[in-house]
Structure 1
Amino acid sequence: MPIKQLSLFVENQPGSLSKVCQVLKENRINISTLSLADTREYGILRLLIQEHERARDVLEKAGYVVKVTDVLALTVPDHPGGLADTLAILDKHALSVEYMYAFTYGRSNKAIIVFRFENPEKAIAMLKDEPIELVRAEELF
């Protein structure tokens, strides 16, 4: 049930992000959600794309180094303390969050947060009996 995420480095200068998006546009590939974390010299662009294999191929052909990573999308109650309660469950299972980012998706009273865990399959097994809904790729795209 992990979702494939594409990660690539982009230079931290005007036009770099636009070039990545232009490559995807020219190949009619839609971005479902993204996260961009930057440093002084470069940024790490993380993308969730339905056609992740094709996106990886066209981005690599355009000269980008692309890494495919498994992430989990979890629903989190959209009210004060919803994220704190979810993180408490993760803490109970000693699941360390490497990074996370959120996006809207139209689920009533719930947000979707993408989590990167060291071992996504282990996280799935540990969370199966918890009141946390894992979102499948088919539901996102």
Structure 2
Amino acid sequence: MAITQLSVFLMNQPGALIEAIQALSDAGINIRAMSIAEANDFGILRIIVSDTDTACKVLGDKYLFSKTEVVAALMSDRSGALYPILTALNEANINIEYMYAFTGSGPEEAYVVIRVNDVKTAEELLNANGIRTLSDESLKI
């Protein structure tokens, strides 16, 4: 039930980001979450979208990108809400490579996207601890 994240490699220059976003927008793809990391000459646009298959088709002709399974865990939008998630993963010795967060559609609802070394175990562990995780299906509009 993991979700698919797309990592799009963009040149670190004016116009590169808006061009990629426009292509997705023109295809009716909703960007549910995103993060941008930069290196010297390029950036990595990490996105969670409403329709991964269509996004791959749109991006495939022009951009180098990869698909990665990540965990998106529901948490309250309040102080300390991330702590139980991190505690559960830490106690199971699951390594976190990176993470970012986005707000949900409900009041005081947020999600944290986590890239871990063992997605299946992380999801099972979080669900066993009463922490809901998202699937690609739950992101479709």
Same-fold status (TM-score > 0.5): yes
Aligned-partner Cα distance in 2 for 1:109–1:21: 27
Unaligned runs of 5+ in 1: none
SS of residue matched to 1:131 = coil
Unaligned runs of 5+ in 2: none
Identity of counterpart residues, as a percentage?
35
Count of matched residue positions in the alignment of Structure 1 and Structure 2: 140
TM-score scaled by structure 2? 0.89
Is residue 76 from structure 1 mapped to residue 75 from structure 2 by the alignment?
yes
Map 1:93-108 to 2 at 5 A: 93-108=92-107
State the 1:92 CA deviation: 0.7
Per-residue CA deviations over 1:22-67 (Å, capped at 9, x if unaligned) read: 2112323222221111122211101111211111111111x21111
Residue matched to 1:40: 40
Aligned-partner Cα distance in 2 for 1:39–1:47: 17
Residue matched to 1:87: 86
Contact map agreement 2:9 2:43 (CA 8 A) in 1: yes
Aligned-partner Cα distance in 2 for 1:82–1:29: 30
Q: Which amino acid aligns with 1:136?
A: S
Residue matched to 2:55: 55
Q: Which amino acid aligns with 1:117?
A: V
Residue matched to 1:109: 108
Contact map agreement 2:88 2:125 (CA 8 A) in 1: no
Aligned-partner Cα distance in 1 for 2:109–2:54: 30
Q: Which amino acid aligns with 1:113?
A: V
> What's the RMSD between the two structures over aligned residues?
1.6
List structure 1 runs of 4+ shifted beyond 4 angstroms: none
Contact map agreement 2:8 2:45 (CA 8 A) in 1: yes
Comparing 5-14 with 106-115, greater Cα deviation is found at 106-115
Aligned-partner Cα distance in 1 for 2:50–2:81: 28
TM-score scaled by structure 1? 0.89
State the 1:91 CA deviation: 0.6
